[in-house]
Amino acid sequence: MGRESESEAINRSGFYLFLAAITLATAYIVWPFAAPLLWATLAAIMFQPLYQWVLARMKDSPNRAASVTLIFITVAILLPGFFIGGMIVDDAATVVTAFQDGEIDIAGWFSQIVSALPAQIQRALDEAGVGDLTEIQERAQQLIGESAGLLAQQAVAIGGGVFGFVLSFIVGLYVTYFLLRDGTKIAARVMHDLPMENSVVERLAARFLGIVRATIKGSVVVGLVQGTLGAITFWIVGLPSVVLFGLVMAIFSLLPAVGTGIVWVPAAIWLLATGATWEGLFVIFSGVVVIGMADNVLRPILVGRETGIPDWIVLITTLGGIATLGLSGVVLGPLVAGLFLASWSIVQELREPESEAGSTAN
């Protein structure tokens, strides 16, 4: 009996070793498509209610329901995103070129603003060494000029990666279709096969879904709304490159407290300093009342419940995720942080009964 048990243990260990090796090999093979697989999973999670709604009206035809849902995602989300992305690239190229050629005179604008300030503040700025930005602007122009060659070299790599982008896009749509149709069954199977207690798996799964929905709705959607409102505001007052600055505001909306004010406050100051009074006042009004209140109004409606993650952790993990993983880090950063906090809270709850049992025994 002892030899049989030992042989079974060896065989089981060998199987687990093989399972770990083949799992790592599979992960290595599919890693080039990690980003499209991630966004396909997120899309399937976010649009699963829409798929269920369509499925109920198509007499339980899952293939047709998944196709209709995928067409909606493509037409309503992806195609407008590509169109806006092209506009942003054009605006960014225009701004960089104008700044490099000296058409954008930040130092002159700053001098106009400083000249409109009281004399005491002007003296304080001069004493602090920030009264003149000419040298800083010249260095920035030189840096951009040196970077132009690098950007031109990267254009070849970007052009060569068009096929890879198209392939990833097709793979993402293909996987989204099957995850919409079979995602519920796949999730149930994965939860059943994980080597953890069912109660722990269920809590982590609920936490995972809650964080994904809260991150996408509370950060991505609210950021896009604030960026759109900011772009409309800048367009009304006649500022250039409104789509680009709208994107910048959408990104800065991730920052607690300051948020989009990093963009619209300097714009309002410049407008007021250059004599565009009603334009500057309108930007301030829109920034405080419209753009600023969008977060307070929309986030509770879209999220519905708190993620349980402090704002400072959301900020750090979001920025860290973007720096490490690119655009995918916007979701993966807070997701990892949320699962980390949830896991440790479960550990604490599992240890509490043991502590209570030990104190009762004593």
What tens digit of pLDDT does each residue of 115-163 get? 666 666 666 666 655 555 555 555 545 544 544 444 444 444 444 456 7
Q: Which residue has the tokens 């047709």?
A: 64
Residues 62 and 44: beta-carbon distance below 8 Å: no
Phi and psi angles of residue 162, each rounded to the nearest 5 degrees, phi first: -65, -45
Which residues are within 8 A (CB) of 307 and not within 5 positions of it... i.e. 6 or more apart?
210, 211, 214, 215, 218, 314, 334, 338
Kindly state whether residues 222 and 324 are assigned to the same domain.
Answer: yes
Kindly state whether residues 47 and 168 are assigned to the same domain.
Answer: yes
Give pLDDT, residue 127: 62
237 domain residue, yes or no: yes
Over residues 151-183, the pLDDT tens digits come to 444 444 444 456 777 888 889 999 999 999 998
> Cα dist. 55→47, 50, 174, 185, 308 in Å?
12, 8, 19, 15, 33
Kindly state whether residues 41 and 178 are assigned to the same domain.
Answer: yes
Q: Which of 50-64, 260-274, 300-314, 341-355 has the lowest mean pLDDT?
A: 300-314
Give the residue from 161, 193, 225 where a domain finishes.
Answer: 193
Give the long-range contacts of residues 244-251, CB within 8 A, separation 24 or more: 244/88, 244/91, 244/92, 244/95, 247/88, 249/291, 250/223, 250/224, 250/226, 251/223, 251/227
The residue segments making up the domain with residue 62 are: 32-193
User: Which tokens in the block code for residue 329?
Assistant: 């880090």
Over residues 10-48, the pLDDT tens digits come to 777 788 888 889 989 998 998 888 888 888 988 898 899
- Residue of 320 and 29 predicted with greater confidence: 29
The residue among 133, 103, 76, 82 whose CA lies nearest residue 240 is 103
Residues 295 and 249: beta-carbon distance below 8 Å: no
Burial status of residue 260 (CB atoms within 10 A of its CB: 0-12, 13-18, 19 or more):
buried
Which residues are within 8 A (CB) of 98 and not within 5 positions of it... i.e. 6 or more apart?
104
Kindly state whether residues 156 and 231 are assigned to the same domain.
Answer: no
38 domain residue, yes or no: yes
Give the residue from 160, 193, 226 where a domain finishes.
Answer: 193
Tell me, what amino acid is at 322? I
Which residues are within 8 A (CB) of 45 and not within 5 positions of it... i.e. 6 or more apart?
183, 209, 212, 213
280 domain residue, yes or no: yes
> Cα angle at 331 between 326 and 335, to 5 degrees?
125
- Does this model's pTM top 0.85? My answer is no
**Dist. CA 250–CA 228, nearest whole Å:** 8
20 domain residue, yes or no: no
Percentage of the chain exceeding pLDDT 90 = 11
Kindly state whether residues 342 and 202 are assigned to the same domain.
Answer: yes
Kindly state whether residues 240 and 96 are assigned to the same domain.
Answer: no
User: Which tokens in the block code for residue 158?
Assistant: 């970007």
Domain count along the chain:
2
Kindly state whether residues 249 and 319 are assigned to the same domain.
Answer: yes
284 C-beta neighbours (distance < 10 Å), count: 17
**Dist. CA 38–CA 289, nearest whole Å:** 36
- Residue of 310 and 174 predicted with greater confidence: 174
**Dist. CA 84–CA 145, nearest whole Å:** 27
Kindly state whether residues 134 and 207 are assigned to the same domain.
Answer: no
